[in-house]
Structures are given as structure tokens and as C-alpha cells.
Amino acid sequence: MVYTSRISEKVSKKPKFSDRFLAVVKYELLWNIRKKKFLGVLIAAFAFSTLSLLLPVILSHAFGAPFEANPNFVIGRGGISSGFTLFLFALVSVMNSISGEFESGTIIPLVTKPVSRSIIFFGKVFASLLTISAAYSLLYAYMAIGGTVIYGPQNNLHLMPLCILGDLLSTFVWVSIVLALGSLSKNTILTAISAIIVFLAISISAPIVSVFSEGAWILNYVPGNGASGYVKGANQGMLPGTSVTTGTDSITSNLVRYILSPSEKVTYFKVEVGAGIKELYSEPLSTVLSRSMLVALAYITISTFTAWYAFKNAQVLE
């Protein structure tokens, strides 16, 4: 039994930064793609996409209406489209990235390797970025192919990479919040529950605040769908235009809208019982879009910093 190959240089060289970083990324990627919850959400997202591809077809069959080609089917939807989906991807990707390591005790052999905690942390973040990007790319590709097959040639497919970036920006607001919760609590269940509560609280209160009060502007500064408004155009329900939302989850749809018609304005409104819709004020779509992107970046920066700081200074008591 020979333990060492001592002939080989005894003075150990410092490993390269890229080696340490990529090792952590691989460690995390192998975990991510084997997470059952993540795979579950991915499958659900595919099922959901299939449904949204087929539903118009089914409906037109059911009502005997003529089925029309729609060249704007894929890009016109504006991204993954549901804030809930973005949130779910974020949640299942990173809810145990940090807390799970503490709970299982696997953090101990990991952080005692010659890799700084900062590299471990950002390696994990980067791995989740890769995983979620891959999932979104697959979903978009699926929608593009399915949409073309069912609704004919599609317009503006070249915007797809931009849509993916927009969706990633929206998702990473949630990713960073979930990471911060996980890093502070070191408890996966607590992380998941508190993240879900935050998401639901915002999602439920936002439309109410937005539609029935004049304080909707505040929603532009919390994560999620943001305030509701409309852009002038064909009437949609009781609105004198097309409804839009302005928050961090709406970055992709507003991005697409802005690229296709840059000069649009978003009008905010309030519903008054008996009096109908009262216009509050308007602002350019470009303002709405850039603000939501800045707000997203601010959340990502602050939450990521919090998560990193807590992780870097955590003692391993487990």
C-alpha cells in the first residue's frame, strides 16, 4: 500500500481560481439536475406550455370557430409569462442550496476544502443560473417549435434570447431572496415557507392595492407583478386598452412591447365603486421598463449580498 507519490512535487501549488470555481459549479450542477423538485417543476412547465399551445386549438374545435394562424403567438405572450412559474423555478433551484448543506452536514467537508466560502457561494449562484437558463432555453425552444407547427411561421423569434435574459432577471430576484432566506435560516422548510408566504402576500395584495387605491406606485418597488395599468389600444374587458403590469416579473413582456413599439405610455387607473375606471397618471413604457429592471437589480444585489455575508460568516455548529 503506497499512500503518496512523494516523488511528485511536495510543494503543493496553489490551485487556479478557475479550477476551484469550476469544481464548485460542477458540484452544484450535478446536484441541481438531480433534484426531484426541480425536475418536477420543469416537467410541469412543459405540461403547462403544451396546454397553452393546444388550448386555442381545442377551444376553436369545441366552438366550431375558424382556426387562425397567429404569427405573434410565441413572442406576443411575453416570456414565460407567469410570475408564479418564475418563482417556482427560483424556489426549487435554490431553496436548499445553502440550508440543505447545513441540514445534511455536507457543508462540513465542503467548506474545509481549500476553496473560499465566497467561491463556494458564487459557484452555487452561477450553477443555478446555468440550470435555470438551460430550463428556460428548452422551454422557449419547445414553444417556438410547437408554435410554428400549430400557428404557422412566427414573427420576431430573434427576440427569444432577449426574452430568456429578461426572464432570468425576473427569476433572479426570487433566487436571491430565497438564497438570503436559506443562508440566514439554514433551514430549508423555513426558507420555502417564508418565501411562499412573501410571494403569496405580494401576489394577492398587489392587484387589490393596484386597482382600488391610489398607492399603486409602491408596487413598482416590491418584487412580483407590480402595479396594473394599460397601454392605449384595442379595448380589453372594461379597460380602454391592453392591460400591463409593471413589476419585476413583467420585465420580459414589457421588454418585448417596448422593442416592438417604443413610444407607448402606461396609464395607471383606479376602480371606484359606482364610478368605474378613474385614470390616475401615465408614464412612458421606457420608464416603466427601466425602473423595473433597476428595481430587480437592486433586489438581486441586496439579497445576494445578504446571503453571501451570512454564509461567509456562518459558524458550522451542526
Binding residues vs other proteins (CB under 8 A): 1-6, 8, 12-16, 19-20, 22-24, 26-27, 30-31, 34-35, 104-106, 108-109, 111-118, 312, 315-317
To other proteins, the closest distance from the beta carbon of 103 in angstroms equals 10
Alpha carbon 246 to its chain centroid, in Å, reads 15
Q: Closest CB to other proteins among 50 and 116?
A: 116
Closest CA relative to residue 255, chosen from 153, 129, 156: 156
Locate 249 and state its grid cell: 416579473
To other proteins, the closest distance from the beta carbon of 43 in angstroms equals 18
Query: What are the start-end ranges of the H helices in 64-159?
Result: 73-76, 83-94, 99-104, 107-111, 117-151
Torsion angle defined by CA atoms of residues 237, 243, 245 and 249, in that order, rounded to the nearest 10 degrees: 90
DSSP β-bridge partners for residue 61: none
To other proteins, the closest distance from the beta carbon of 116 in angstroms equals 5
35: left (phi over 0), alpha (psi -120 to 50) or beta: beta
To other proteins, the closest distance from the beta carbon of 32 in angstroms equals 10
Residue 89, H or E segment: helix 83-94
To other proteins, the closest distance from the beta carbon of 44 in angstroms equals 21
The residues, any chain, with a CB within 8 Å of residue 198's CB and separated by 6 or more, are 177
Q: Closest CB to other proteins among 25 and 231?
A: 25
Distance (Å, rounded) from C-alpha 257 to C-alpha 163? 11
CB 172 within 8 A of CB 90: yes
Q: Closest CB to other proteins among 118 and 243?
A: 118
Q: Closest CB to other proteins among 28 and 264?
A: 28
Q: Closest CB to other proteins among 6 and 158?
A: 6
Work out the number of other CB atoms within 10 angstroms of the CB of residue 131.
21
Q: Closest CB to other proteins among 50 and 118?
A: 118
To other proteins, the closest distance from the beta carbon of 28 in angstroms equals 10
